[in-house]
Structure 1
Amino acid sequence: MSFGPLERLRASLAKDESFRVLQRLFLADGVKHWKGYATAFAFMGFMALSTGGMAWLMRDAVNSIFVHPTFWGVWGVALGVMALSVIKGASAYGQNITMARVGNRIVADNQKKAFDHLLGQEVSFYAIRHTAEISMRLQAGANAARDALNLVITSIGRDLLSLVVLVMVAVIQDPMLALVALVLMPAAVIGTRKLIKKAKNIFRKEFASGIKLSAISLEVIQGMRTVKAYTLEDTMRVRVHTYIDDVERAANKLVRTQAKSSPLMETLGGFAIGGVILYAGYNVMFAGKSPGEFFSVLTALLLAYEPAKRLARFNVDLAAHVIGAHMLFELLDMRAPEAEEKTLPDLPAGPGRVTFDQVEFGYRDNEKVLRGFDFVAEPGQTTALVGPSGGGKSTVISLIERFFTPSAGTVAIDGHDVTAFNRQSVRTHTALVSQDVYLFSGSVRENIGFGREGATEEEIVAAAKAAYAHDFIMGFEQGYDTPVGEHGAQLSGGQRQRIAIARAFLKNAPILLLDEATAALDSESEAEVQKALQKLQSSRTTIVIAHRLQTVVRADKICVVEQGRILESGRHDELMARRGRYYNFYQIQFAHEGEAGAEPQGEALLSA
């Protein structure tokens, strides 16, 4: 799995990048939402002051009850505590609501930015990365950005402010008493620093295992038919269980690491409170001081315990969010070539003449798929590409669609080099129907309507009728509102193909690209789809890729593609007369006909 994948993540996080990640978060999201954070910070300030006020009132409460008992003094203290509780409760509610709204907006903004960035990537980006990895960066990364900011804000506004106010109360009431307790606090914070590095390593392993688990689970679910057909249940169960166990082990290690800060704080907190009791007891019993100061300081220390514990483990908790935010930033920092081309002009409208001039291309370095490829597809004609698998036929369509860019030579439409124009405008000139039809979750109407934005109901129905799809669509109980299911799973192969053809009809592009559009269909479905395709091909530049020669014998030009070059081209009868490579393919495919020159059964269909 690669994204420069987890290897790049490990290398970049080998250095402590917490400060850099946090700085970027604050400059991007923090500054944008500063009003919301300022409001939440104000609420947290009221919470801290209320907490400190309660600790302060403990002196008057104890003295009013035990030292100088007065009815009105007790009432005054009680009402003061009640009022402070109301203020603290209302402030806590305001802080939680404000932080949640700001946090949810940050998640939404980052997910939108990440998704827009993904849309700007080339097809090659997705070819080398697993869907689970991209999804995890999109979802977990956006959540981590929010959680990192929220943790920092709440640690400063809630915990640190509360701790400062409570320490001030303790110091004012009895400086020496506070000193006895506070001398042990820094030791707790220093003690947790050793846990931070270990926590980060565990988080990285947990993310890696989580990505692997998501990847294999997604593959098993999407490939369930293959799993069942080859009885791979036990094999896949072992693989998935292994990754689940890896995630569980990492999670358990993380819990142990995080939990180590609690015994340290519990121990040091106990020593601090014990020291306060000894010192205060001596002062009350032998130095004549009132117990009110003692209880006030003790209350302040007890209330300070939880915020102090959270601050002590702040960096340990922050580690996971920093790594998640880094995953998001790594995605956002990658170049988005298609988005960068938005400034290029639109490809001018034309009849759709396609030419390849000495084109070279390879998916990997030093592995060329096309080698000096020359090719012309004329408007109003059907040009077929045939030949063995791996020869470069599908690559030709990918280059026309600008899914990839040739390393040398020129791909042109109506004489215009397609690389000089933005990709979206190039793709508006083409309509693609492939063997692997992709339908989106939604209704039949929506999937046809994707052919052209803003298409009317009448236009969608007209496209469906042209694709011979209207009748079977109306046979569904919900008609055009029928859900197609994930990847069109609720439709047959022939129905999916005709929906795709209807989408192409609606697009009405001058160039039609057919990549094995009928290869996976049975004879009856193929007959229906072929009728729709013939209607679609009229008056367009049509480029057909086919392994089954019976589907292209009536093409205006047939090109035999092998090892990245066109070996021969011409009409069916011309190529058969030459007795070259096409003739050999034809003989092999139709040997069962008894005579190589006999007209295959599919020709009658194509000429219909």
Structure 2
Amino acid sequence: MHLIERLMREQGSKHFWGYVLAFGMMGVIATTTTLSAYMMKYIVDRIFVDRNIEAMWAIGGAITVIYIAKGFATYGQQVILSRIANNIIAESQAKIFDKMLAMDVSFYNARHSTEFLARQAFISQSAGSALNTLVTAFGRDVLTTLGLTFAMFQQDAVLASVAILIMPLAIVGVRKLGNRARRVIMTEFYGFAAILESLQETAQGIRVVKSFTLEPFMRERQVAAIRSFETAANKLTRVQSRSSPLMETLAGVAVAMVVVYGGYRVINSGAQPGNFFAFITAMLLATEPAKRVARLHVDISTSLLGVEMLYQFLDEKTPETEPDDMPALQITAGRVEFDNVEFSYRPGEMVLNKLSLVAAPGETTALVGRSGGGKTTAMSMILRFYEPTAGRILIDGQEIAAFSRRSLRSQIAYVGQDTFLFKGSIRQNIAFGKPGASDEEIIAASRAAFAHDFIMSFENGYNSPVGEQGMQLSGGQRQRISIARAFLKDAPLILLDEATSALDTESERAVQEALKTLCAGRTTIVIAHRLSTIANAERICVIEGGRVVETGRQDELLAREGIYALLHKTQFDRGLMLASSGAAAE
């Protein structure tokens, strides 16, 4: 009931007059259905018993008018309710998407992306369906049943009482099916999500599937998900259909009793046959709406489960929701400071352990170290993807947690090691760096990122589609488009997380020159595993175990013969080994 109350408060009130109009249409449907039962009395008595020609034409005309009115009312009710339901679905889908945008990165780390697809496909339709089921049940079915019941009592109160006594038995028998239906629907939902998950991973990882001959494994997994969904769907059908034998049996018993008793009265007591036929017609017409009312608990349980899941998601806390009056951060010099920052993804597993460092204005600060040391986490915290559990992050002496995320991120150009391109053209993907940018600005940014030449080699140039996640481009091409996007943003703070990792040697050299132009006069923080790419950085911070263990220029760190010197020597020796093996192969 609390779900229905909230649904009525949030959605029903918005469409109040639409539901009133639909309710009126359903009142017309109930009235015309009741009148059609009354007409049976006159059909039998006036036409077949009295053989009255005038009555025949009058009754025929009346029936025509009744069913025309019913047809238009049915059409109006269906259109109105469909429009309302479609609007509610659209609003629910928009709310789900807005909620997704308001969630932080950790929320997505804990979930598979197909969960959100399943929500859009399964849950968003539940709100409109639940309200329509309720309105239709109380508007069309209850009104029709009441009208026909009234007609039955007018014809024969005793027979009507016998028929009405059977209805509570049906409602009690069907009620228990609702809870079971909810459990089955939940299983069906997760089965549907598993199918989407397998489809998405197969499409996105098709190169791995093919190269590792994983087709049998993926097929087996998908078939298992499909079979699970099929089993749940079949079980739901059985649960929802269990009311039919009960209802049909009770209806059959009621009709048989009416036929026997009514026939006895007509034959032995001289009762009018028209009354009997009007009664039996009303009873038969009332059977279907009465069955729908009796199984309302089962039908509404299906929709309300989706509504419950919808509200559970919409009621999730949104860490990135901020007050409208949150002040905007103004970056002037661009000095970035970590002050004893601590952070952990899971309790007891410290990732950043009192991390303290300074990225000086207008200089390049490189973060190096072994994998898992916390470099990418530290960069993510500058963007406020995560919040410190202790300590502070400051830009120009301002603690970034006190300012809006939007103002912070709008002044940062970020190029990650996992380059993501959106579906669309190359031009559109570069333009994300500066919405509304002119073609000249886009081309200038592409030239600076050494991307213009390969873009123009495509048949459609900047209008060439990149495909899903940029799969129509090579890794190096995707990364240079990402760098062009950063050029276009022209932000005072640059974050580069392995920005040249997917480039060949020649492209890397060209892009390094481009990055020099991009980073000139700007505060730049670079994560690099290839130490050759940060040889000229003004400051190198070696991060181990979530804290800075060495800092200085490259020549200073090499002279200390510490961790950085060991990393440098390891890479240098590996490079010589690869070069020697290459020369030997030639």
TM range (shorter): over 0.9
1:59 to 4, 21, 41: 41
Distance 1:500 1:383 in 2: 21
Distance 2:139 2:270 in 1: 38
Distance 2:575 2:300 in 1: 72
1:376 aligns with 2:358: yes
Return the offset for 1:592. 4.7
3-state DSSP of counterpart to 1:295: helix
Code of the residue aligned with 1:486 in structure 2: it is E
Code of the residue aligned with 2:383 in structure 1: it is E
Relative to structure 1, the CA distance from residue 592 to residue 226 in structure 2 (aligned partners, 3 Å threshold; closer, same or farther) is closer
C-alpha offsets along residues 286-339 of structure 1, whole Å, 9 cap, x if unaligned? 111111111111111111111111112111111121111111101110111212
Distance 1:590 1:78 in 2: 100
3-state DSSP of counterpart to 1:206: helix
Q: Name the structure 1 match of 2:310.
A: 328
Return the offset for 1:388. 0.2
1:127 to 109, 126, 134: 109
Q: Name the structure 1 match of 2:582.
A: none
Relative to structure 1, the CA distance from residue 419 to residue 592 in structure 2 (aligned partners, 3 Å threshold; closer, same or farther) is closer
**4+ residue stretches of structure 1 with deviation over 4 A?**
592-595
Aligned residues: 579
Q: What does 1:11-50 correspond to in 2, within 5 Å?
A: 19-50=1-32
3-state DSSP of counterpart to 1:334: coil
Q: Name the structure 1 match of 2:241.
A: 259
Return the offset for 1:342. 4.0
Return the offset for 1:594. 5.8
Name the % identity. Answer: 48
Code of the residue aligned with 1:235 in structure 2: it is F
Return the offset for 1:243. 1.8
TM-score, reference length from structure 2? 0.96
Deviates more, 1:386-395 or 1:108-117: 108-117
Code of the residue aligned with 2:7 in structure 1: it is L
1:500 to 482, 485, 494: 482
2:122–2:189: 8 Å Cα contact kept in structure 1? no
Q: Name the structure 1 match of 2:508.
A: 526
Return the offset for 1:390. 0.3
Code of the residue aligned with 1:537 in structure 2: it is C
1:342–1:422: 8 Å Cα contact kept in structure 2? no
Q: Name the structure 2 match of 1:284.
A: 266
1:412 aligns with 2:432: no
Q: What does 1:511-550 correspond to in 2, within 5 Å?
A: 511-550=493-532
1:55–1:299: 8 Å Cα contact kept in structure 2? yes
Return the offset for 1:134. 2.5
3-state DSSP of counterpart to 1:439: coil
Relative to structure 1, the CA distance from residue 148 to residue 592 in structure 2 (aligned partners, 3 Å threshold; closer, same or farther) is closer
1:494–1:529: 8 Å Cα contact kept in structure 2? no
1:560 to 531, 534, 542: 542
Return the offset for 1:138. 3.5
Distance 2:510 2:302 in 1: 55
1:132–1:215: 8 Å Cα contact kept in structure 2? yes
Q: Name the structure 2 match of 1:576.
A: 558
1:191 to 167, 170, 173: 173
1:399 aligns with 2:375: no
1:113 to 74, 95, 110: 95
1:299 aligns with 2:284: no
Code of the residue aligned with 2:412 in structure 1: it is T
2:69 to 61, 69, 87: 87
* 5+ residue gaps, structure 1: 1-18, 602-608
Relative to structure 1, the CA distance from residue 592 to residue 395 in structure 2 (aligned partners, 3 Å threshold; closer, same or farther) is closer
Distance 1:57 1:458 in 2: 78
2:322–2:404: 8 Å Cα contact kept in structure 1? no
1:182–1:272: 8 Å Cα contact kept in structure 2? no
C-alpha offsets along residues 392-427 of structure 1, whole Å, 9 cap, x if unaligned? 100111010010111111101111000000111111
Q: Name the structure 2 match of 1:12.
A: none
1:497–1:529: 8 Å Cα contact kept in structure 2? no
Q: What does 1:152-171 correspond to in 2, within 5 Å?
A: 152-171=134-153
Distance 2:501 2:331 in 1: 32
Q: What does 1:167-178 correspond to in 2, within 5 Å?
A: 167-178=149-160
Q: Name the structure 2 match of 1:355.
A: 337
Return the offset for 1:593. 5.7
* 5+ residue gaps, structure 2: 580-586
Return the offset for 1:377. 0.8
2:331–2:395: 8 Å Cα contact kept in structure 1? no
3-state DSSP of counterpart to 1:360: strand
Q: Name the structure 2 match of 1:235.
A: 217
Distance 1:148 1:340 in 2: 33
Q: Name the structure 1 match of 2:412.
A: 430
3-state DSSP of counterpart to 1:405: coil
1:244 aligns with 2:226: yes
3-state DSSP of counterpart to 2:349: coil
2:337–2:357: 8 Å Cα contact kept in structure 1? yes
Relative to structure 1, the CA distance from residue 593 to residue 154 in structure 2 (aligned partners, 3 Å threshold; closer, same or farther) is closer
Return the offset for 1:343. 3.2
Return the offset for 1:521. 2.5
Return the offset for 1:351. 2.3
Distance 1:402 1:187 in 2: 60
C-alpha offsets along residues 25-61 of structure 1, whole Å, 9 cap, x if unaligned? 1110011111111111111111111111111111111
Distance 1:129 1:257 in 2: 31
Q: What does 1:463-502 correspond to in 2, within 5 Å?
A: 463-502=445-484
Code of the residue aligned with 1:381 in structure 2: it is E
1:222 aligns with 2:224: no
1:498–1:532: 8 Å Cα contact kept in structure 2? no
C-alpha offsets along residues 452-501 of structure 1, whole Å, 9 cap, x if unaligned? 22222332222222222222222222222221111111111121111111
Distance 1:540 1:115 in 2: 35
3-state DSSP of counterpart to 1:383: strand
Distance 1:593 1:544 in 2: 22
Q: Name the structure 2 match of 1:364.
A: 346
TM-score, reference length from structure 1? 0.93
2:491 to 496, 509, 525: 509
Code of the residue aligned with 2:439 in structure 1: it is E
Deviates more, 1:222-231 or 1:46-55: 222-231
Q: CA RMSD in A?
A: 1.6
Relative to structure 1, the CA distance from residue 132 to residue 592 in structure 2 (aligned partners, 3 Å threshold; closer, same or farther) is closer
Return the offset for 1:251. 1.1
3-state DSSP of counterpart to 1:503: helix
